[in-house]
Structure 1
Amino acid sequence: MLSRSAESMRSVKTVHFTIKVDGELPDVPVKDADGDLTSAGDSKGTAKVTFAGQLLAIEYVLTGGNLHFKGPTGGFTKLPAAFAGQVYDPSAILNPDKGVAKVLASAKDAKTKSSGDVSVIEATVPKDVAAGLVPGISADVKSTFSVDKDNKLKSALFELPGGQKVDIGLTDFDKPVTVTAPA
Structure 2
Amino acid sequence: MLRFVTALLAVVLVTAGCTSDESGQAADLPGAAGLLDTAAQTAAEITSTHFVVDVNGEVPGMAVENIDGDLTTEGNGVAAKGIAVITAFGSAAEANFVLADDVLYLDTGGGTYREIPAAQASMVYDFSAVLDPERGIAKLIGNLAEATTVAEEDVNGTATYKITGTATKDDIAGLVPGASSDVDVTLWVSKDEGNQPVKAEAVFPGGGGEGGTVTVTLSQVNEPVTVEPPQ
Asked whether the equivalents of residues 43 and 91 of structure 1 are also in contact (C-alpha less than 8 Å), the reply is no
- Bigger drift between 69-78 and 123-132 goes to 69-78
Q: How much does 1:91 deviate?
A: 2.2
Structure 2 counterpart of 1:130? 172
Structure 1 counterpart of 2:223? 175
Unpaired stretches in structure 2, ≥5 consecutive residues:
1-34, 154-158
The answer to whether residue 189 in structure 2 is matched with residue 141 in structure 1 is: no
Structure 1 counterpart of 2:6? none
Q: Root-mean-square deviation (CA), in Å? A: 1.4
Tell me how far apart the structure 1 counterparts of residues 195 and 127 of structure 2 sit (CA, whole Å). Answer: 21
- Bigger drift between 158-167 and 14-23 goes to 158-167
Q: How much does 1:133 deviate?
A: 1.2
Count residues with an aligned counterpart.
Answer: 183
Q: How much does 1:113 deviate?
A: 0.7
Tell me how far apart the structure 2 counterparts of residues 10 and 82 of structure 1 sit (CA, whole Å). Answer: 27
Tell me how far apart the structure 2 counterparts of residues 37 and 165 of structure 1 sit (CA, whole Å). Answer: 22
Q: How much does 1:74 deviate?
A: 5.2
Asked whether the equivalents of residues 113 and 121 of structure 1 are also in contact (C-alpha less than 8 Å), the reply is yes
Structure 2 counterpart of 1:156? 200
The answer to whether residue 50 in structure 2 is matched with residue 16 in structure 1 is: yes
Structure 1 counterpart of 2:82? 45
SS at match of 1:143: strand
- Aligned AA for 1:102? K
Structure 2 counterpart of 1:70? 107
SS at match of 1:128: helix
Q: Deviations over 1:22-76 (max 9, x none)?
A: 1122311100010000124210010001123221000000010100110023500
Structure 2 counterpart of 1:59? 96
- The runs of 4+ residues in structure 1 deviating greater than 3 Å are none
More strand by share: 1
Asked whether the equivalents of residues 60 and 179 of structure 2 are also in contact (C-alpha less than 8 Å), the reply is no
**Equivalent residue for 1:93, pick from 104, 107, 130:** 130
- Aligned AA for 1:78? E
Asked whether the equivalents of residues 59 and 213 of structure 2 are also in contact (C-alpha less than 8 Å), the reply is no
Q: How much does 1:85 deviate?
A: 1.0
Asked whether the equivalents of residues 92 and 98 of structure 1 are also in contact (C-alpha less than 8 Å), the reply is yes
Q: How much does 1:90 deviate?
A: 2.1
Q: Deviations over 1:99-157 (max 9, x none)?
A: 00000011101000124731000010111111121111111110000000231110000
- Aligned AA for 1:54? S
Higher Cα Rg, which structure:
2
Tell me how far apart the structure 2 counterparts of residues 73 and 53 of structure 1 sit (CA, whole Å). Answer: 22
Taking structure 1 as the reference length, what is the TM-score of the superposition? 0.95
- Aligned AA for 1:132? G
Q: How much does 1:173 deviate?
A: 0.4
Asked whether the equivalents of residues 144 and 157 of structure 1 are also in contact (C-alpha less than 8 Å), the reply is yes
- Bigger drift between 112-121 and 94-103 goes to 112-121
